[in-house]
């Protein structure tokens, strides 16, 4: 084999290798990758809402004590912030969400990711969960409404890397706990979550009801 043919053969192998690497990147940088980036947070969004309500029901002042629960597989999620006080039948909550090495995904999932918010003492750098409860307080059998947003970035590691930025709108119904605790809870199956989850993999359109 001449030197020229040898160089051409090496060049062809290199081009094929680069093409295969590019195909792998395309598989990640896709609509499916964007969907997986959101799906890894789907349960966490539900948990953050429940923690916000736990803090609201337990609050004895404008500040909500930190409410924390564990990820299904690893880490923790914590919600804290402030709630409107007074006798108004409309109550606002201004909360922040912190994720620490958090995952609800099984470790053998096809796409496994761990989520972490930025380590910071500045609440403005954390995902903001803003909620408005209307027609509160209620009597048994009456319904109120829930409106809100969840906006901000969350870091990803594992099979997914970088950040996913949530820009979600929440709407649903609220009621008194049928168990008679006096707590206000979300009415099951009425919380409509819409918006986007944007990452380097693309933008996923969120439209789910919880």
Which residue blocks in the chain are alpha helix, DSSP H? 3-28, 31-58
Q: Name the residue among 161, 147, 158, 162 with its Cα closest to residue 194.
A: 147
Q: Give the pLDDT of residue 1.
A: 53
Tokens standing for residue 116: 């972490």
Q: Which domain holds residue 147?
A: 3-209
**pLDDT tens, the chain, 210 aa long:** 554 444 344 444 443 443 433 433 434 458 889 999 999 999 999 999 999 999 999 998 999 999 999 999 999 999 999 999 777 889 999 999 999 999 999 999 999 999 999 987 787 889 999 999 999 877 888 899 999 999 999 999 999 999 999 999 999 999 999 999 999 999 999 999 999 999 999 999 999 999
Q: Are 160 and 113 in contact (CB under 8 A)?
A: yes
Non-local (6+) Cβ contacts of 31 within 8 A are 202, 204
**How many structural domains does the chain have?**
1
């Amino acid at each position: 084999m001449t030197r020229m043919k040898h160089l051409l053969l090496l060049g062809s192998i290199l081009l094929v290798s680069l093409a295969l690497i590019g195909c792998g990147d395309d598989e990640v940088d896709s609509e499916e990758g964007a969907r997986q980036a959101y799906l890894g947070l789907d349960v966490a969004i539900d948990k953050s809402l429940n923690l916000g309500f736990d803090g609201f029901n337990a609050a004895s002042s404008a500040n909500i004590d930190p409410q924390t629960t564990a990820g299904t597989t690893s880490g923790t999620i914590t919600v804290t912030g402030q709630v409107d006080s007074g006798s108004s039948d409309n109550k606002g909550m201004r909360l922040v969400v912190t994720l620490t090495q958090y995952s609800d995904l099984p470790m053998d999932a096809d796409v496994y990711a761990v989520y972490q918010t930025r380590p910071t003492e500045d609440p403005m750098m954390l995902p903001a969960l803003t909620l408005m409860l209307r027609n509160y307080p209620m009597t048994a059998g009456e319904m109120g409404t829930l409106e809100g947003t969840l906006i901000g970035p969350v870091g990803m590691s594992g099979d997914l890397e970088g950040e996913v930025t949530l820009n979600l709108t929440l709407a649903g119904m609220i009621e008194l706990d049928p168990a008679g605790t006096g707590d206000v809870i979300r009415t099951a199956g009425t919380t409509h979550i819409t918006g986007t989850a944007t990452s380097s993999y693309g933008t996923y359109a969120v439209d789910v009801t919880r």
